């Protein structure tokens, strides 16, 4: 008898699929607020982490928008985009997040090398301002996380290559949603947050010196450290 791999659906996927169908059927309309996280926990009889993963999945699909302190709201969506981002392709599982990280590495390393060659004085000022903001907010997890993402975006802009800018913007958006919990753990720790800042500063120094080989090496070291944090996170959940 031939065997086939059975894909077991996770609880958060079932919840997200249920809400997704309510949105696509028009039962939940654009602009309408979803129940609060606590209310969703009560409705589906699950914990907060499961609800958080379900909402993150819906956000990745472009169906809802979540803002701190305001809850989640149904967005105006493109039906074709929703079809492309179904759960078979969603960037939530360990395997797909690590694959995305692998792809991001090659792009970020290229960005660091190109930025070292093509950066302007204006680019350096933007990077330095970002680093000052990040150091100022080492103990503020939300602001540190935002500064981290902005650093990589500014670095991409320093390549003066519009394709690279769009690629890193798309990948950063996907990763920030798919790995919200990992980033939260990283930036909730002042020690880890300080390490991220120092790694960014070393990348900046190499870019400022226009040392393309050193820039790409320091970016690789930075992303290797972050990948290790991801792997440790997933290991702790098993």
Is the same domain home to 173 and 114?
yes
Question: Which of 18-22, 62-66, 147-151 has the weakest average pLDDT?
Answer: 62-66
Is the same domain home to 207 and 124?
yes
As a whole number of angstroms, the distance between CA 17 and CA 153 comes to: 32
Domain that holds residue 60: 11-84
Tell me whether residue 2 is in a domain: no
Count of domains observed in the chain? 2
Among the candidates 84, 115, 142, a domain finishes at 84
Asked if pLDDT for residue 178 goes beyond 60, the answer is no
Is the same domain home to 99 and 176?
yes
Among the candidates 66, 84, 102, a domain finishes at 84
47 Cβ contact partners less than 8 Å away, ≥ 6 residues apart: 41
- Tell me what pLDDT residue 173 has: 64
The CATH number of the domain where 57 resides is what?
Answer: 1.10.10.10
Question: Could you give the percent of the chain with pLDDT greater than 70?
Answer: 81
- Tell me what pLDDT residue 176 has: 63
pLDDT digits (tens, 9 = 90+) for 19-48: 988 988 888 999 999 999 999 999 999 998
The CATH number of the domain where 98 resides is what?
Answer: 1.20.120.530
pLDDT digits (tens, 9 = 90+) for 75-90: 887 665 555 455 444 4
Is the same domain home to 70 and 172?
no
- Tell me what pLDDT residue 34 has: 94
Is the same domain home to 167 and 205?
yes
What global pTM score does this model have?
Answer: 0.62
As a whole number of angstroms, the distance between CA 72 and CA 69 comes to: 9
As a whole number of angstroms, the distance between CA 167 and CA 70 comes to: 29
Higher pLDDT, 4 or 65: 65
Higher pLDDT, 148 or 198: 198
As a whole number of angstroms, the distance between CA 176 and CA 158 comes to: 21
Q: How confident is the model at residue 180 (pLDDT cuts 50, 70, 90)?
A: low
Tell me whether residue 181 is in a domain: yes
103 Cβ contact partners less than 8 Å away, ≥ 6 residues apart: 171
Q: How confident is the model at residue 179 (pLDDT cuts 50, 70, 90)?
A: low
Tell me whether residue 152 is in a domain: yes
């Amino acid at each position: 008898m031939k065997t086939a791999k059975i894909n077991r659906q996770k609880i958060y996927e079932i919840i997200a699929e249920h809400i997704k169908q309510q949105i696509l059927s028009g039962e939940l309309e654009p602009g309408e607020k979803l129940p609060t996280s606590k209310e969703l926990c009560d409705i589906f009889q699950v914990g907060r982490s499961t609800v958080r993963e379900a909402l993150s999945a819906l956000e990745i699909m472009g169906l809802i928008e979540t803002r701190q302190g305001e809850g989640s709201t149904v967005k105006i969506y493109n039906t074709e985009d929703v079809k492309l981002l179904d759960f078979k392709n969603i960037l939530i599982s360990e395997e797909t997040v690590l694959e995305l990280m692998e792809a991001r590495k090659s792009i970020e390393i290229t960005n660091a090398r190109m930025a070292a060659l093509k950066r302007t004085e204006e680019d350096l000022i933007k990077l330095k301002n970002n680093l000052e903001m990040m150091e100022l907010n080492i103990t503020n997890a939300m602001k540190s996380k935002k500064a981290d993402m902005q650093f990589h975006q500014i670095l991409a802009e320093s390549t003066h290559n519009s394709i690279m800018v769009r690629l890193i913007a798309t990948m950063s958006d996907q990763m920030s949603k798919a790995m919200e919990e990992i980033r939260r753990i990283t930036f909730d720790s002042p020690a880890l947050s300080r390490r991220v800042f120092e790694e960014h500063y070393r990348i900046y120094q190499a870019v400022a010196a226009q040392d393309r080989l050193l820039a790409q090496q320091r970016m690789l070291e930075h992303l290797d450290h972050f990948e290790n944090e991801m792997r440790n996170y997933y290991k702790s959940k098993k």
